[in-house]
Structure 1
Amino acid sequence: MENARNFDFIIVGAGSAGCTLASRLTENPDIKVLVIEAGGSERNPLITVPLGWGKILFERLFDWGYFTEPEKEFNDRKVECARGKVIGGSSSINAMAYVRCHREDYDRWERNGCIGWSYSDILPYFIKCEDWEKGDQPLRGVGGPLTTIENKYPDPLQEAWLLAGEAAGFSRTPDYNGPQNEGLGTLQSTIRNGRRCSAAVAYLRPAMERPNLSVITKALVHRVIFEKNKAIGIEYSSSNKSLTKIYCENEVIISGGVINSPQLLMLSGIGDSEHLAEHKIATKIDLKGVGQNLQDHLSVGVEYERIGDGPFVNTLRYDRLLMSMAQAYFFGKGFATEMPGPLTGYICSKDGLPQPDLQLLARFIPPESQPWFPGVRPKPKDAFMVRPVVLHPKSRGKLKLASANPEDHALIYQEFLSEPEDWKTLRDGIEIVKDIATQKPLDAFRGPEIQPKDEPIDEWIRRTAWTVHHPLGTCKMGPNTDDLAVVDTELKVRGAENLRVIDASVFPDMLGGNINAPTIAFADRAADLIMGKPPLSPMEI
């Protein structure tokens, strides 16, 4: 393909945004699109079956294998940063939570200069994307490519937790993606017929039936090729390590995600000129914000022994687990079609906040969730955990190049808890979870506290806190007056022609929840902008 101009658009990365863009752009049969992805196929049973998520996460499967640099507030502990290296990107390895986040997130962005991205602007795309299992309900979508369901995990502990939350003074919400975001409720997931409904399943695989879409896998993009400041193609290597150049007529769209997108920009000469000079990379466009503004959700797990066994422990027996996985994979039925974390919630730690500052995430499994069998490995003692998540951290991190070699991972400095306010919010969240856990409705389930138990809270946080895997912000969208803005409100890279970044790296600051659904909705709206179509009409509610 050397020097070929066979494509109108090149999309770098087949993650949540890249899959969505590929589907939308190729709706026009006259538009030829190439998607190039570093990972391979997502058609593995561990990805397909929802219960396979735990093994994917803890064994770092289909993953870039990123870790942060030593985190100062964590006694120089490195924190894993799982990012999908596979068709579907992180939508193929995440916990499948479907969360649109709070309307204030988007309205705040518009107030700060991101015109066209308010809640009323993005809501029509959430509705368009979705196929909600409960049908036509307020603010929900039916008939879209992304199937969404309410978790049906069969565990009485869930209702006990919700009752305990009410006893502690927190409301319930029947639908946190509907009119009422705040409150405790049941988690919603991107699952279709008992199997993961990733962006690959929802968007890319159907689009691959079209003759105007090409997909290259297991290929690492080294740089964007320019004529002056105009992007005209990419250079990549595949398994044989040889370099290949591919050109396009219209645009190069970078959708590599929060780590890879800024890294590719810097390797291509777009970034802070002083940092690029450290690696002998010639500066094409001096943009100080590339790799800056890194944010992520942080949590700790408050955990208790469980009185008696819940459904998960019994299903962990080797023979039952194998049967459940097979039943889910082949028939889309059975225990393995659900995640054993059916509870979530969005709550305020204090009065007067414009939106919740804490999320609660449940995990109704023991800490040592290994398969067992009588006489081979003992059955684990059951337990449950609820994690308070700091939704709007003040701490900001950054990325740097390790070298000019595209195969070297970028250096990730999350700088978690570098701001005192984040410490306070996390401590408040821990106290709230412990208060809910002591309420009467949980008496029949709550055993002794496992953690933090008697350990000083701050020491326990430093030792155990970990990411919720929602990093964003490293190619920030913003107005021209924002010195850290990398892209404008049409997601075009400032100072460049025919180059956009479209993924979670463009989000200006932290959303109040899981970020996969917003990434897909953003890409859907961005596709209209790329094709010169008028965006869907805003919905004022």
Structure 2
Amino acid sequence: MTNYDYIVVGAGSGGAVMAARLSEIPDARVLLLEAGPEDTAFWITPPMGYPMLFTDPKVNWMFETEPEAELNDRRMYQPRGKVLGGSSAINGMLYIRGHPEDYDGWRQLGNTGWGWDDVLPYFRKAEDNARGTDDLHGTGGPLHVSDQAGGSEVADAIVAAACEAGLPRNPDFNGPTQDGAGYFQTTTKDRRRHSTARAYLKPARTRANLTVVTGAQTTRVLTEGRRAVGVEYRRRGLIETVRLSERGEVVLSAGSFGSPQILLQSGIGPADHLNDRGVPVVHDLRGVGENLRDHFYCSLMFRCRKPVTINELANSRLRQLIAGAQYVLFKQGPLASNGIFAGVFARSSPDKHRPDIQINTNMWSVAARTSAGMKAHPFPGFTMSPVHLDPRSTGTIRLKSNDPTAAPEIRMNFFRDPVDRDTMVRAVRLVRRIASQPALSAYMDHEIAPGAEHATDDEIETWLRGAAIANLHPVGTCQMGPDPASGAVVDPRLRVHGIGGLRVVDGAVMPRLPHGNTNAPIIMVAEKAADMMKQDRKEGPHG
């Protein structure tokens, strides 16, 4: 049996980066375990293919929350990638880093080495930006970041309308300032999705010291005393184990749902919960599964006066065939972009010193969401979706049972804090202000949802309780911090408190949400973690 120096669990936004970077150590043996398959599904490649992956169980865990008490007891659908590349293989591909103060805030919580000046070099190291290099951006990194193909006249009108509403024009949301209206860059290359599997893992798999095993669902970390010594996983109906070398380490990169679940299954977590679920306690670590945070958003949908949206494509088999041919033959047409061209970062009230609202624009509108996916309206439509970037409510991840293959118990606890409710009501009003500007008059027919009948603050809040959903950016469930007594699960070097040879490297370690999409920050975390682990290998774990 081969003993590995590094066992990385999960080949997603964090895990693929970790496996690739750790395999750069010539004498290190690296094993990457992924529960899902290879990333060969056709719809992973075209940027507009991600709606087709939204409910595909072959590449998607398709989790659900428990009923949300403040949201009419609705369950929140939680798609997560189960494939090489993880959620970076099924997401909307927006490249947003967040605000510099996000990371300075992490450092102020006691996480030395995680301020903006500390993490910026790792954003730049990861990046190969089509716009070139400068003080904030990099070229030559594994991850290609590009401007979108084609464009949309509706998106152009929305940007113009936001400026008419008093917001500044912003040419780069990852530039010197975040405020304003402008166009998103995406993690695409040559009009193809550039997931971490393709950016990092594909070139790394030529190395003889890297082994990648798909279809392998990790069930627990094996420990002896207070040290990780290997992992147990299920593959093809069989239980298998793999062990570490003497100074080896296990890296959990299974995401903000998967990483705490594996820790809990391994007996690492709150002792009272583990006892309730019949899991032997290895280490009573109170913070595991706590501090679950996610952005929260809603969709204001509008009927468009002109047939220039994705709805016409969704409702016409002929248009779909033409679009497929355009993409397959020439990498052109509507499938070559993600349909989320433009956006806005704004402040929900004058007392905010940085944006707390992100508005994403979709060149379609949805009549219904079903288990088979989303169904477009039978007429042209578009959507503006305001996202609350700084929610106060937090949730938990727990085990439903001691069955390691069962989905975790997810409680988001959205809308419990009055700040969250008030902010979302103001966000709806901001979108309506933008929608009423002259620049959109040629396209704006009327508001479909929530509609004119939801006019007062109370009426808007009632609509939000029945319609708003998770923005699918979960973080925080293995938060980093210097003191486990305060809820920290990992230290600032991402080592699990109290267990040797075990780290967590994914969005679960973020103590607070970035103000923006989370894929780019997770890649940054993994880049920095890999450098720390290389340093520890040279100097010893306490160098």
TM score, norm. by length of structure 1: 0.94
What corresponds to 2:440 in structure 1? 442
Shift in Å at residue 297 of structure 1? 0.7
Q: Deviations over 1:248-271 (max 9, x none)?
A: 111011110000100100111100
Separation in 2, partners of 1:193, 1:121: 31
Instruction: Name the CA distance, whole Å, in 1 between partners of 2:229 and 2:486.
Output: 26
- Which moved further from structure 2: 144-153 or 256-265? 144-153
1:531 aligns with 2:527: no
**Aligned residue for 2:308?**
310
Percent identity over paired residues: 38
Q: Deviations over 1:165-189 (max 9, x none)?
A: 1111111211011112111110110
Structure 1 range deviating more: 241-250 or 68-77: 241-250
- Give the alignment of 1:86-485 within 5 angstroms: 86-239=83-236, 241-249=237-245, 250-316=248-314, 317-329=316-328, 331-368=330-367, 380-453=378-451, 454-455=453-454, 456-480=459-483, 483-485=486-488
Q: Which amino acid aligns with 1:296?
A: D
Q: What residue identity is the alignment partner of 1:263? A: Q
Q: Which amino acid aligns with 2:102?
A: D
Within 2, Cα distance between the matches of 1:85 and 1:115?
33
Contact 1:195 1:328 in 2 (8 A): no
Write the distance in 1 (CA, Å) between the matches of 2:421 and 2:170: 27
- Measure the CA separation in 1 of the matches of 2:243 and 2:184: 43
Relative to structure 1, the CA distance from residue 508 to residue 482 in structure 2 (aligned partners, 3 Å threshold; closer, same or farther) is farther
Q: Which amino acid in structure 1 is aligned with residue 378 of structure 2?
A: P
SS in 2 for 1:457: helix
Deviations 1:320-361 (A, max 9, x none): 323423443454333211011211121111224232111101
One-letter amino acid of the structure 2 residue matched with residue 464 of structure 1: A
Separation in 1, partners of 2:28, 2:438: 61
The one-letter amino acid of 1:248's match is L
Distance 1:251 1:76, change over 3 A: same
CA distance in 2, matches of 1:397, 1:217: 30
Shift of 1:242: 1.8
Cα distance in 1 between the residues matched to 2:241 and 2:354 = 47
Contact 1:152/1:342 (8 A) holds in 2: no
- Number of residue pairs matched by the alignment: 525
Q: Secondary structure at the match of 1:90?
A: helix
Trace 1:44-55 onto structure 2 (pairs within 5 A): 44-55=41-52
Per-residue deviation, residues 394-446 of structure 1 (Å, max 9, x unmatched): 00100111011111111000000111100000000000000110011111110
- The code of the aligned residue for 2:218 comes to V
Distance 1:244 1:60 in 2: 24
Alignment counterpart, residue 494 of structure 2, candidates 491, 500, 503: 491
Corresponding residue number in structure 2 for 1:514? 517
Q: Aligned pair in 2 of structure 1 residues 461, 58: CA closer, same or farther (>3 Å)? A: farther
Contact 1:391 1:511 in 2 (8 A): yes
Which secondary structure does the structure 2 equivalent of 1:16 belong to? coil
Query: Matches of 1:214 and 1:330 in 2, distance apart?
Result: 34
SS of corresponding position for 2:67? coil
Q: Aligned to 1:38, which of 35, 38, 50?
A: 35
Alpha carbons 1:303, 1:386 under 8 Å: kept: yes
Amino acid corresponding to residue 363 of structure 2 in structure 1 = F
How far residue 369 of structure 1 moved from its aligned partner, in angstroms, is: 9.3
Shift of 1:533: 6.8
Q: Secondary structure at the match of 1:23?
A: helix
1:418/1:378 Cα in 2 relative to 1: closer, same or farther (>3 Å)? Answer: closer
Cα 1:534–1:346, aligned 2, differ >3 Å: closer, same or farther?
Answer: farther
**Quick check: 1:45–1:329 contact (8 Å CA) kept in 2?**
no
**How much has 1:79 moved relative to structure 2?**
0.7
3-state SS of paired residue (1:10): strand
1:374 is aligned to none
What 5-or-longer segments of structure 2 have no aligned partner?
370-374, 539-543
Q: How many angstroms apart in 1 are the aligned matches of 2:513 and 2:213?
A: 32
Letter matched to residue 496 of structure 1: I
Coordinate RMSD, CA, aligned: 1.9
List runs of 5+ in structure 1 lacking aligned partners: 371-376, 536-541
Question: Quick check: 2:12–2:196 contact (8 Å CA) kept in 1?
Answer: yes
Q: CA deviation at 1:5?
A: 3.7
Are the structure 2 counterparts of residues 329 and 488 from structure 1 closer, same or farther at C-alpha, using a change threshold of 3 Å?
farther
- Structure 1 CA distance for aligned equivalents of residues 359 and 439 of structure 2: 18
Structure 2 counterpart of 1:449, which letter?
E
Report the more deviating stretch, 137-146 or 108-117.
Answer: 137-146
How far the C-alpha of 1:123 sits from its partner, in A, is 0.4
* Aligned AA (2:81): G
Give, in angstroms, the shift of residue 279 of structure 1. Answer: 1.4
- Residue 107 of structure 1 aligns to which amino acid in structure 2? D
Secondary structure in structure 1 of the residue aligned to 2:168 = coil
The worse-fitting range, judged by mean Cα deviation, of 348-357 and 338-347 is: 348-357
Residue type of the alignment partner of 1:245: T
- SS, match of residue 427 in structure 1: helix
CA distance in 2, matches of 1:483, 1:205: 40
Residue 481 of structure 1: how far off its partner (Å): 6.4
Contact 2:183–2:343 at 8 Å: present in 1 too? Answer: yes
* Mapped partners of 1:30, 1:332: distance in 2: 41
Deviation (angstroms), 1:379: 8.8
Matched residues in 2 for 1:378 and 1:53: separation? 15
Q: CA separation in 2, counterparts of 1:322 and 1:16?
A: 32
Q: Which residue of 2 aligns with 1:539?
A: none
Matched residues in 2 for 1:265 and 1:178: separation? 37
Q: Work out whether residues 151 and 341 of structure 2, in 8 Å CA contact, stay in contact via their aligned partners in 1.
A: no
Alpha-carbon distance, 1:74 to partner = 1.0
Instruction: Provide TM-score, normalisation by structure 2.
Output: 0.93
Q: Is the 8 A contact 2:311 2:381 kept in 1?
A: no
- Could you say which residue in structure 2 is the equivalent of 1:373? none
Structure-2 change in CA distance of 1:35 and 1:59 (3 Å): closer
CA spacing shift, 1:278–1:141, aligned 2, 3 Å: same
| Separation of aligned partners in 2, 1:153 and 1:391 | 28
The Cα of 1:147 is off from its aligned counterpart by: 0.6
